[in-house]
Amino acid sequence: MKYSGWPDKGDLVVGKVDEIADFGVFVDLEEYENKRGLAHISEVASGWIKNVRDHVREGQTVVAKVLDIDESSQQIDLSIKDVNEHQRKEKIQDWKNEQKADKWMAIAFGEDVSDEQYGAVANALLAEYESLYDGFEQAAIHGMEALEDVDIEEDEKQAVVQTARENVSVPYVNVTGYVDLRCPTPDGVDDIKDALKAAEGNGEIPDGIELTVAYVGSPEYRIKVKAPDYKTAEAQLEASAERAREAIEAVGGTAEYHRERTEDDE
């Protein structure tokens, strides 16, 4: 996807070195349609420059900062030297992610998707998320729920979710906690089993969350949660332990939740 408009002053942009002159470097902007910028020799690298070609080469992909824009003369002034290594790597990764999202749009709606439909879906996703990639990533994690407020047709939402779940590699985190369950009643074993089922969510765990409960050694049980981020994972872990506590205390038992093992697992 290429933007038809202009970048803003201060933006970081990805470009390919198109031409090298004694006075500077011309850069074709990869993210914008028919936009070309110039990095003056003084903005190519820090210090005195004898030969521009010692610092850049034709065809090289660079990240530059937009210094100024003059739409009337179609001029964009760039600085390559004002971009540090961290910014460069982060911007290149964002750009690569958007290229992936562009391919996913083609998968979701076909290679022959019209510009009108592409633009409508893309703009709707960008109204809710910072980038197309973020929109697809959230759809992969949360399914249709992630697109609830996105103003596109239902079949378009389904296409995005299906494509996202088949193509997006979602980053996950894992957290672990333990719950000690005791029940002195005659039916204590069955009551503990019921409490463990409650801990597992009784089949009602949200999409994008994996939760398992395993026996460690009486009276201890391990709860493991896999989720998109630590905040969600911790919340699900605590909720699981709380469900087990409520279930076992309802029949006269006790529960104690803790994050560390009480004895060696081996």
With contact defined as beta carbons under 8 Å apart, do 223 and 240 qualify?
Answer: yes
Q: Residue 140 belongs to what H/E stretch? A: helix 132-142
Q: What would you report as the CA-atom Rg of the chain, rounded to the nearest whole angstrom?
A: 27
* Residue 228, SS3 per DSSP: coil
User: Along the 266 residues of the chain, how does pLDDT read in single tens digits?
Assistant: 677 789 999 999 999 999 999 999 999 999 998 999 999 999 999 988 889 999 999 999 999 999 999 999 999 999 999 999 999 999 999 999 999 999 999 999 998 889 899 999 999 999 999 999 999 998 988 888 899 999 999 999 999 999 998 998 877 888 899 999 999 888 889 999 999 999 998 777 887 889 999 989 889 999 999 988 888 888 999 999 999 999 999 999 999 999 876 554 44
Rounded to the nearest 5 degrees, what angle is found at the Cα of 258, between the Cα atoms of 256 and 264? 110
Q: Which of 199, 185, 190 is nearest to 245 (CA)?
A: 199
Torsion sign (Cα): 46, 52, 54, 58: positive
- Residues sharing a CB contact under 8 Å with residue 53, sequence separation 6 or more, in sequence order: 20
pTM passes above 0.85 = no
Q: Domains in the chain and their CATH numbers?
A: 12-82 (2.40.50.140), 86-167 (1.10.150.190), 173-258 (3.30.70.1130)
| Order of strands, sheet of 220-227, starting from the edge strand that comes earlier in the sequence | 210-217, 220-227, 173-182, 254-258
